[in-house]
């Protein structure tokens, strides 16, 4: 019986400390409460999405002083103390999907419908310059409503 040579073990890939990107380029960030996990998510957003995430986060902070933040299910969540979550976003290949959990009550309605009758979305694409006043209006309205409590 002939002996077969063992294949040498593959060397382990060195860890870069970079978060893994899931399908669509969404960063895999551990769940956590507060600003730090949200900033880690934003820093890990690929390409142009990271700057768009920074601008969105800054707009939310300016519009809702004392906003509560967390990362859950690999997405940043924003909420108002004692009222639940009002907004989240998630990276996809070509855009960032911004979700308003009570978006069906916002005026004017965010443009993208949801299977959930209460939720509405808007998308940010690479070359978009979202209407900051409109987005701030949606954020302010959403933060004033009872939010989503998982």
Query: pLDDT exceeding 90 applies to what percent of the chain?
Result: 78
Q: Specify the pTM.
A: 0.85
Domain-embedded: residue 17: no
Residue 53: closest CA among 126, 147, 134: 126
Asked whether the CA dihedral 129, 68, 63, 86 is positive or negative, the reply is positive
1 domain-assigned: no
Output phi, psi for 138, to 5 deg: -60, -45
CA dist., res. 94 & res. 132, Å (int): 20
- Residue 71 phi, psi dihedral angles, 5° rounding: -115, 125
CA dist 113 and 116 (Å) reads: 8
Q: Answer yes or no: is 13 within a domain.
A: no
b/e burial code for range 16-44 (CB count within 10 A of at least 16 → b):
eeebeeeeebbbebeeeeeeebbbbbbeb
- Residues with Cβ < 8 Å from 110, sequence gap 6 or more? 98, 100, 103, 120, 121, 122, 138
With respect to residue 27, please indicate whether it lies within any of the assigned structural domains.
yes
Q: What is the pLDDT of residues 23-68, one digit of tens each?
A: 777 898 899 999 999 999 999 999 999 999 999 999 999 999 999 9
Q: Is residue 51 part of a domain?
A: yes
* 149: in domain: no
User: How many domains is the chain built from?
Assistant: 1
Residue 105 lies in a domain: yes
Domain coverage including residue 44: 23-144
CA-based end-to-end distance of the chain: 62
State the CATH number of the domain containing residue 92.
Answer: 3.90.1150.200
Per residue in 84-120, pLDDT (tens digit) is 999 999 999 999 999 999 999 999 999 999 999 999 9
118 falls within a domain: yes
């Amino acid at each position: 019986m002939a002996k077969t040579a063992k294949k040498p073990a593959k060397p382990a890939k060195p860890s870069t400390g970079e978060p893994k990107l899931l399908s669509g380029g969404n960063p895999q960030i551990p769940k956590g409460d507060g600003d730090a996990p949200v900033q880690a998510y934003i820093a890990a957003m690929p390409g142009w999405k990271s700057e768009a995430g920074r601008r969105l986060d800054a707009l939310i902070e300016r519009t809702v002083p004392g906003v509560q933040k967390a990362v859950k299910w690999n997405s940043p969540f924003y909420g108002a103390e004692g009222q639940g979550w009002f907004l989240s976003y998630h990276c996809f290949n070509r855009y960032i999907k911004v979700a308003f959990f009570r978006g069906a009550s916002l005026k004017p309605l965010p443009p993208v419908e949801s299977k959930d009758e209460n939720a509405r979305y808007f998308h940010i694409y690479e070359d978009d310059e979202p209407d900051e006043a409109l987005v701030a209006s949606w954020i302010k309205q959403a933060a004033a409503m009872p939010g989503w409590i998982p």
